[in-house]
Structure 1
Amino acid sequence: MTDKPEKDPLYAAAEKAFAAAFGAVLELRPEDGESLWVDGRRKPPQLLSAAPDGDAAACCWRGPKETLQRALATARAFDSAYLSGRLAVAGDMSVMARLNLHEGR
C-alpha cells in the first residue's frame, strides 16, 4: 500500500484505517492538501496519489486534512465529524455501508 510518503499524516491514518477491501474507490479530498485515493477493490486496499486507472471515485470524503485524519481514527470520530458538518460525504453511500474501518485508537 505505498504510493505516497509515509510521513504524511493523512496517508498514515488511512493506511491504518483501511485494512479490508470494500469493493470501490474512495477519495479523501482535504480542503488544505492533495487528494488521496483508496482502491478498496484490492486486498489489502491500495493508497494512491491519483485515481486508479483513471477511475472516478465512487465516494468522496471532503473536509480539512486534520478532520479527515481524525475521522479515520475511530468510528465515533467519523460520526462526530460528519454530524457536525466538518466532514462531507458525496457519491455512492452504499460504499459507506461496506467500509470496515480498523479502529486506530
Structure 2
Amino acid sequence: MSGSSPESPRQHTRQRTLKGARMVFNDGKSSFDVLIRDLSEGGAKLKLGSASWTAPDTFDLIIPNPNTGVPTKHHCEKRWQRSDLVGARFIEPQLNRPPAIPAAISAPNLTTRS
C-alpha cells in the first residue's frame, strides 16, 4: 500500500455517486457492505459502515448493476484510509467486461479497387 493521500493527483476523473457495493476479502470468507462515493475507470472512494473498521490492503469490490442484474467485480488495492473513507485503486481490469474485438475484425475494410 502506498502512502498517497486523497488529495493526490489522479489518472482518471472521478464521478460522484452513491452506490451500494460489497467489499470481499479473506479468500471470499469475509465481506461487508460499503457505499461508493466517487467512481472512475481506475478506482473509487468508499465509505465504510463504521470508522472503527480497517479495510484490508487488497480486496474485491462487487458492484451490483440493477439494469442487467450482472454485478461487476474489481480487484482493488487500498491506497489510503481516513476514518470511514477508503481510497481504492482497481488493480485488474473489470472482470465482467466482454473481451475487446480487435480493430481488424470489427472495422470493415472500406477501400475499393477500380
What TM-score does the superposition give when structure 1 sets the normalisation length?
Answer: 0.28
Whose strand fraction is larger, Structure 1's or Structure 2's?
Answer: 2
Q: Normalising by structure 2, what TM-score? A: 0.26
Q: Larger Cα Rg: Structure 1 or Structure 2?
A: 2
Relative to total residues, which structure has the larger helix share, 1 or 2?
1
